[in-house]
Amino acid sequence: MSTSNSSMSGLYLYVFIGLFLILLSCTKVYALENKAQHDERLRINFYQSSCPNAESIARQTLLSNLLLDPTAPAALLRLVFHDCQVQGCDGSILLQSTSSITSELVSERNFGIRRLDFIDRIKAALEAACPNTVSCADIIVMAASNSVAIAGGPNIPIETGRRDTRFSSNLMADKELPSATISVSDLLQIGGTKGLDTGDSVAILGAHTLGVGHCINFANRLQPQDPSLSPPLAAALNLICRLPAPATNLTFAANDLTNLIFDNQYFRDLQGGRGLLTIDSELMKDPRTQGFVNRFAADQNFFFQKFSEAFVKLTRSNVLTGTQGEIRNNCKAVN
């Protein structure tokens, strides 16, 4: 009786300990979930406690390297679009090919992506200050928003807290990155998947106020000559591109008349038939987008406001947060 009693109380003890452990693990899971929920949202100043100077380091490093190439802001602004457009803003575009993944840069659609060395320098400065803390995905977004501000555009307060993917695929880049001859309908559809309405989609394409396009990306408008292209620009582009010739990968033209400055000149150029790419000129022709082109051309503040909103939407969509993905030590390779 006493043996059975003690084995019974032993059993109770086990049951009790078992229940206790289950309870404990529940609170633990609950606490973890709470933390994950807390960290899972992007937020302004995500690195406030983990790396208080992250944003100023990112900005200073970009600024101090600008002398190397004053056209770098254009490259970095395009980079954020090409990162975010494929799998979301997760640093996928920076991964180099290995046995298991293929770099997105292999995709023809990434032709012209440049100045990744700027990202490397910003990452190096941030690793020196705060090892293993700031994601490559966030670095791309910070570099792009700083580029806009440095070039004279709006100061866009950006959220951070993105994490880096462990995967990339050139085939996904082929599929997701739009070609220069995309239709307005497809442009609006792509924007729609990221919560961009028509005005946002027109505004975000105002990024083409910076930088260049290579002849390979607009040669379709020269032979045969696109009647919506202004004749003086067509003549200039024909000279630059020297068609027909196989050098269209090397030759390039400015995206707008003031392509080092982030302003609303792009929209005034569209009004004058001076859009460089097919999609640029389509914005002026399509009744859904033409009104926004005219409003942005007339009111730079309105353009800046809509561009800022669209930029935040673009860089918020489909991101890894919380415990997803990782913080890469080296932006070119998974840890």
Ligand X SMILES: *[C@@H]1O[C@H](CO)[C@@H](O)[C@H](O)[C@H]1NC(C)=O
| Shortest Cβ 217–ligand X spacing (Å) | 9
- 179 binds ligand X per the rule CB under 6 A: no
| Shortest Cβ 122–ligand HEM spacing (Å) | 17
The secondary structure of 251-316 as a DSSP string is: -EEESSTTTTS-SSHHHHHHHTT--SSHHHHHHHHSHHHHHHHHHHHH-HHHHHHHHHHHHHHHHH
Map the footprint of ligand X across residues 234-293, applying CB under 6 A. 246, 249
**How many CB atoms sit inside 10 A of residue 101's CB?**
18
Cis peptide before 224 (omega within 30 of 0): yes
> Structure tokens of 154?
């709006």
Number of residues that bind ligand X (CB under 6 A): 5
| Shortest Cβ 250–ligand X spacing (Å) | 8
152 binds, among ligand X, ligand HEM, none (CB under 5 to 8 A by kind): none
Going by their DSSP bridges, the two strands 252-254 and 212-214 should be labelled as antiparallel
92 touches 326 (CB < 8 A): no
| Shortest Cβ 84–ligand HEM spacing (Å) | 8
Catalytic residue, from 38, 82, 208, 214: name it: 82
- 114 binds ligand HEM per the rule CB under 6 A: yes
Which C-beta is closer to ligand X: that of 108 or that of 186? 108
71 touches 212 (CB < 8 A): yes
- x/- map, 183-222, ligand HEM, by CB under 6 A: ----x--x-------------xx-xx-xxxxx--x-----
Residues 6+ apart with CB under 8 A from 220: 180, 181, 226, 278
Q: Which of 8, 44, 108, 185 binds ligand X (CB under 6 A)?
A: 108
- Which sign, positive or negative, has the C-alpha torsion 269, 71, 79, 113? positive
Map the footprint of ligand HEM across residues 242-301, applying CB under 6 A. 255, 277, 279
Q: How many angstroms separate the CA atoms of 73 and 62, rounded?
A: 9
Catalytic residue flag (residue 82): yes
Contact positions vs ligand X (CB under 6 A): 108, 111, 216, 246, 249
Contact positions vs ligand HEM (CB under 6 A): 74-75, 77-78, 81, 112, 114, 178, 180, 182, 187, 190, 204-205, 207-208, 210-214, 217, 255, 277, 279
Q: Would you please indicate which residues are annotated as catalytic (active-site) residues? A: 82
